[in-house]
Chains A and B, each alone.
Chain A
Amino acid sequence: MPRIIYRDREWQVPANITVQDAIKKGGLNPEIVLATRDGKLIAEDVHLQADEVIKLVAVISGG
C-alpha cells in the first residue's frame, strides 16, 4: 500500500488512490500541502502505485 509521510505522521492508503484523496485521508486540506515523490513535485490527480512513498511538504509558514 502507498505510504504518505507528513512531518512526524505517516499513514497508508489504498493503491490507485489519487494524491488529493490520499491527502484528505490524512485529514488535511490539500491547499496546505504539496506532494513529492523522490523529491519531485507531483500533481494532485496522480494515482498512487502500491509500495510507493509520498512525502507531503507544508505550504504555510508564518510569524
Chain B
Amino acid sequence: MKCRKCGQVAVMNMRQHKLALCAEHFAEWVPAQVEKTIHTYKMFTPADRVLVAVSGGKDSLGLWDILLALGYRADGLYLGLGIDGGFGYSDESQRKCEEFINHFPDSPIPEPWLPTLHTLSIPETYGEAIPAVAQRVQRGRGKPCSVCGLIKRHEMNRIAYELGYSVLATGHNLDDEAAVLFGNTLTWQVGYLARQGPVLPAGDGFARKVKPLCRIYEREMTAYCLVRGIDYIYEECPYALGATSIAHKELLAELERKSPGAKQNFYLSFLKAKEGGLLNDHQVPPATMHACQRCGQPTTAPGLCAFCRLWISCT
C-alpha cells in the first residue's frame, strides 16, 4: 500500500476515507482534520485560551499535541483521582502528562508563552480518593464511574473558570461519540440525544466545552500517538473494565469491519438530522442557574450543587 501523497510505503489505511498515508503525511493529516472540525463547529479561535482536560491517555495527550502544533494557546489540566488498581493508575497517568509537556519539543508559539500543565489531586484537596468516596455514597454503589464523572465535570469547569480559560476541550473521539449515541438510541433517551454535540455553549459560570476530535476515529488517534512518539498510558482505568461503552464500541467496530464508514455515517448523519430540527421538540431551554451556597458554582436548583451534596453526604 502506497501513501496517496508521496508514494512511499503507507503505514495507515483509513478505509472510510479510502485513504492510505505514510507516517509523515498521516501526522500532518490528523491535525488538518482537527483544524477543519474546529472551524466547522466554531469551537474556538487563536484568540481563545484553551484548557485541555488531559488524563494521560492517547486521546487527550494527542489532542493537546495537535492543538499546540496548530498554534493554539492550549494548556493542560490533570485531575489526580487517587485510583490505584494495583499498578498506581493515577500516579502513572500524571507521570505521562508531565513527561509529555516536559518533552514537548517545538511549540510554534513564540516565547514567552509556553504550555502549562495544571494539576489537582482530588485526595489532597478534598481528603479522599474517588473509589473511597464512591463506596460510601448511594451514587457510586458498585462502580465509582458516576461519582468520578460528577467530580471531574465540577472541577474541570471550576478550574477553567477560575483560571480564565474561555474553552474547555476534551479528547472525545468519534468512537466515543458514536458509542454514546448508540447507547442512548438503544433506550431512546431523547433528552440526552438532544444535548449530544461537538460543542456545549458557555453559560452563566460555565466555560464552553468542545470536542475537537469528534470526527477522528479512535484508531486514528492511536496511530497518531504511535507516529508522533507520544507515550501515553496504555492500561485501562481499572474501573472501566467491562464498561458498557466498551461493549458498544466493539459492536460498532464489527459493523465498521463489514461496512467501512458505518461509524462515521452513524454519528455525522445524527448531527445533520439534529441540525435539521429532528430533536427540536426535545431541546430543554436553558435553566435558570443559581450559585451553589457552598462552592459558588452554577447549579440548576437553589441550595447546594450535586458536587457539594456528594461531599456533605459522605462526611
Contacts and interface: CB of A to CB of B under 8 A. Distances in A.
Interface of A: 29-32, 34, 36, 39-45, 57-63
Given A59-B222, A60-B250, A61-B58, A43 B1 contact: yes
A61 B236 contact: yes
B239 interface: yes
A29 B246 contact: no
B177 interface: no
B254 interface: yes
5 contacts: A31-B254, A32-B250, A34-B223, A41-B11, A60-B250
A45 B226 contact: no
B249 interface: yes
B218 A36 contact: no
Contacts of B246: 60-63
Given A30-B257, A31-B257, A62-B243, 18 more contacts: A29-B253, A34-B222, A34-B223, A40-B23, A41-B11, A41-B23, A41-B223, A41-B227, A43-B1, A43-B9, A43-B10, A59-B219, A61-B59, A61-B236, A61-B240, A62-B240, A63-B239, A63-B245
B133 interface: no
State the main secondary structure of chain B at its contact with A: helix
Interface string B212-250: 000000110011001100000010110110010110011
A27 to B, nearest CB: 13
A42 B175 CA distance: 22
B20 interface: yes
B249 A29 contact: no
Contact of A36 (B1, B179, B226): B226
A25 B134 CA distance: 41
B222 A43 contact: no
Contacts of A40: 11, 23, 226
A31 B253 contact: yes
Interface in B251-281: 253-254, 256-257
A34 to B, nearest CB: 6
B241 to A, nearest CB: 9
B87 to A, nearest CB: 14
